[in-house]
Structures are given as C-alpha cells and as structure tokens.
Amino acid sequence: MSLSPAADALRGVSPDAFRRGFRHVPTVVTVVLFEQRDPALPTGITIGSFVSLSLEPPLVCFNVMKSARMHDTAVAAGNFVVHVLREDQNDLSDRFAMPHYTRAEQLEGLSLADGPFGYDVLDNALVRFDCTLDEVHDAGDHSILVGRVVDVVEGESGRPVVYHQRAYHAIGDHVADSSLEGDD
C-alpha cells in the first residue's frame, strides 16, 4: 500500500537530497567556544548555521547535532563565544571540526585572549559575539541554541570565509549595494 502524494510530501525529502540541495547555500564559518572543565573533551565546535535572530533583545542562534561530542557541553553552557572567521582562518574551521580532538589539541599553538566568561577565546577573529545562553529548542536530530549577545568585539578587518559546495571560499566581488534601509 503506497502513501498518498500528500502523505509522501509530509515525510520530506531524503537526507541525501536535503544535503545536496544545501551544498548550494553558502554559510559563514564560525567557531563557537564553551567553558570546558574536562581536558579530554573539546572546548569548541565549527558551526555553519550561525544567524542573527532578533535585534530587541539582541539574539543569535545556531544548531548542534545531538550526536555531536560537544552537544551536551553546548546545551548545558551558561554562555558561549562565537568567532566569525576571516578568509585566512579556514584552518581553524578544520581544527574545531575534528570531534576526537581534546581541548589542548584544539587550542595548541593558537593566539588566545582572555575571554569575558573566564575561559580563553580565539584572538583576532573577524568579529566575536559574546553570548549568554537564552534558550535551547529541540529540532529533530539537532538542538537550536539561542544566545543573548552581551558584547560584540570586532577584530582585524577582512572578509569572512564561507563554506560552499564542500569547500572554503572568500566573499568575491561587490555586486551591488542593498536597496534595504537600515540593514546593518
């Protein structure tokens, strides 16, 4: 017995089709750091789902896969720091995407700064958003973390690195100014 077309549509597309489709959607590359008391575990994770959510109050959000090694640390965190990487920092994305790395392996040899919440943060990202965890939402095989931005720290000027078609890219040529008012 086959399902009706409407019932088939409610099931959604396959994970492979979904993944293939989203390869066409460029995402900004970020590294999110959390306090980590267990040195055997990582302290950060590479995230491609970081977006602004609200201006009043200033909220941002991103998703963490429930099976990720950092998931429990992330959802239990009282705060976190989001680093938007510059085009010359794509190596940091790879480093923090390695789920088997320990805290020491993730931070080894990096230029660090004293963070606002008592743990080190990456020095000189394009921009850093210091956040307190506001809400966590269940969303299928991911959790959505919503953070209230308590500070924005701009680093050295540059262009962000983006991930598109399974590779890192820099933002290209200027195409046109936005016709939207007040969009910055």
Give percent of the chain with pLDDT exceeding 90.
Answer: 73
Say if residue 106's pLDDT is above 70: yes
53 CB-side CA count, 13 A = 18
Domain definitions of the chain by residue range: 14-50+69-128+152-168
| SS3 at position 128 | strand
Question: Would you say 106 and 44 are in contact if contact means Cβ atoms under 8 Å apart?
Answer: yes
What pLDDT is stored for residue 3 in this prediction? 59
The whole-number pLDDT of residue 37 equals 83
Output the pLDDT for position 28.
94
Q: What is the pLDDT of residues 29-88, one digit of tens each?
A: 999 999 988 888 899 999 999 999 999 999 999 999 999 999 999 999 999 999 999 999
| Average pLDDT for 160-166 | 92
**147: alpha, beta or left, given left = phi > 0 and alpha = psi -120 to 50?**
beta
H-helix segments, the chain? 5-11, 15-22, 71-76, 90-96, 103-107
pLDDT at 119: 93
What pLDDT is attached to residue 41?
Answer: 87
Superfamily of domain 14-50+69-128+152-168: Electron Transport, Fmn-binding Protein; Chain A (2.30.110.10)
**Burial environment of residue 148 by CB neighbours within 10 A (0 to 12, 13 to 18, 19 or more):** middle
Q: Is the pLDDT of residue 161 over 60?
A: yes
Kindly report the pTM of this predicted structure: 0.88
Res 12: pLDDT:
85
